[in-house]
Amino acid sequence: MNAIADSRARLVMLGVALVVLCLLPAFVEKYYVQFVAKIMVMAILAMSLDLLLGYTGLVSFGHAAFYGAAGYVLALLTPQYQAANFWTSFPLAIIGAGVLAMIIGFFVVRTSGIYFIMVTLAFAQMLYFLFHDTKIAGGNDGIYIDVRPVAEIFGWQPFSLDDFVHRYYVVLVALVVVYLLLRMVLRSAFGHVLVGIKVNEHRMMSLGYPTFRYKLVCFSLAGAIAGVAGYLYSVDAGVVNPEYLGWHLSGAVMMMVILGGMGSLVGPMLGAAVWLLLELLFQGMTKHWQLLMGGFVVLATLFLPNGLIGLADIVSRRRDTSDGHD
């Protein structure tokens, strides 16, 4: 009864949020439209990590690798002073990120626990140093995407990525599609196996599930979705550099997931919004905003382990019990 009311309330909230997001560009300035678009990109990235972290129990500390890889796919597909095609470069970037995740996953998924954390980080940093130390794609300066991709298909151009409002709506559509896709995956038999692996992998194995394959598919899927975010961000920024692959981002995304509340799809989206807003706030206060960010991470880890969603649950539960006593 309560759970139904709860999920209905959540659905209403999501609906309202979607309507607000749809109407937003009509009411606010360019700066805020772009800022919200950035939040949505990070929300996609955070949801993809939550698939590993919150549902499958795989604590990946190298998730930015796939995000950055998609950006580099776009940069390398873009000819100098010309535009790549959106309809080919976007899928190729997603596939590229997914295939990379599958290759790395082949090595890392056979480990677990603390090993998994270290190995995912090590492979991501390997990629970082590959782009940082060699001349591929501009070395540590990164590479500019001189011209944004064109969305031309059979001579028809449905939208232009040079227009920030169009870019905003492309990101919004991607966010909705990723949300629905993940929701579908998590409600499928496949999704239930993933949750089973998180709770007790040995039991799932003895039930006859090839858990290695399930984890590998999950890792690749999460990587591909991270690629969606990486591509969209690179289109917006017009530049790709090794920091996109770095562990600062991997850690930040992890924090977004925890901050919102892992094991739900709404949580990471909420976490991404709060994280970026905090960053904006702290950046306005001091040049050394990372200090405040770090302090916030430490405090949030200690006092808010279940995230904002968890906090909301506690509050609502307390309200329920007090209702019961009346």
Question: Which residue ranges make up the site for another protein (CB under 8 A)?
Answer: 53, 59, 61, 107-108, 110-115, 117-119, 121-123, 125-126, 129-130, 133-135, 247, 251, 254-255, 258, 288, 290-291, 293-298, 301-302, 305
- Measured distance CA(232)–CA(38) in Å, rounded: 9
- Measured distance CA(20)–CA(129) in Å, rounded: 41
Cα dist from 265 to 48, 152, 183, 242, whole Å: 9, 33, 8, 28
Nearer to another protein, 190 or 289 (CB): 289
Cα dist from 16 to 13, 19, 40, 82, 207, whole Å: 5, 5, 16, 40, 42
Question: Can you list the positions of beta strands (E) in the chain?
Answer: 143-144, 239-240
Smallest gap, in angstroms, from Cβ of residue 300 to another protein?
8
Smallest gap, in angstroms, from Cβ of residue 135 to another protein?
8
Nearer to another protein, 8 or 288 (CB): 288
Cross-strand bridge partners of residue 153? 156
Nearer to another protein, 88 or 290 (CB): 290
Nearer to another protein, 40 or 308 (CB): 308
Q: Provide the 3-class DSSP secondary structure of residue 135.
A: coil
Q: Provide the 3-class DSSP secondary structure of residue 144.
A: strand
Smallest gap, in angstroms, from Cβ of residue 118 to another protein?
4
C-beta atoms surrounding 112 within 10 Å: 14
Nearer to another protein, 32 or 115 (CB): 115
Q: Is residue 250 within 8 Å of 117, Cβ to Cβ? A: no
Smallest gap, in angstroms, from Cβ of residue 285 to another protein?
13
Six token digits for residue 87: 């309809």
Secondary structure letter of residue 84 according to DSSP: P
Smallest gap, in angstroms, from Cβ of residue 240 to another protein?
19
Nearer to another protein, 37 or 197 (CB): 197
Smallest gap, in angstroms, from Cβ of residue 108 to another protein?
8
Six token digits for residue 133: 């130390």
Nearer to another protein, 85 or 112 (CB): 112
Nearer to another protein, 141 or 163 (CB): 141
- Measured distance CA(24)–CA(86) in Å, rounded: 24
Smallest gap, in angstroms, from Cβ of residue 282 to another protein?
11
Nearer to another protein, 104 or 161 (CB): 104
- Measured distance CA(59)–CA(115) in Å, rounded: 10
Q: Is residue 61 within 8 Å of 121, Cβ to Cβ? A: yes
Smallest gap, in angstroms, from Cβ of residue 107 to another protein?
5
Smallest gap, in angstroms, from Cβ of residue 77 to another protein?
23
Instruction: Enumerate helices (H) and strands (E) in the chain, giving the number of each.
Output: 13, 2
DSSP string across 19-36: HHHHHHHHHS-HHHHHHH
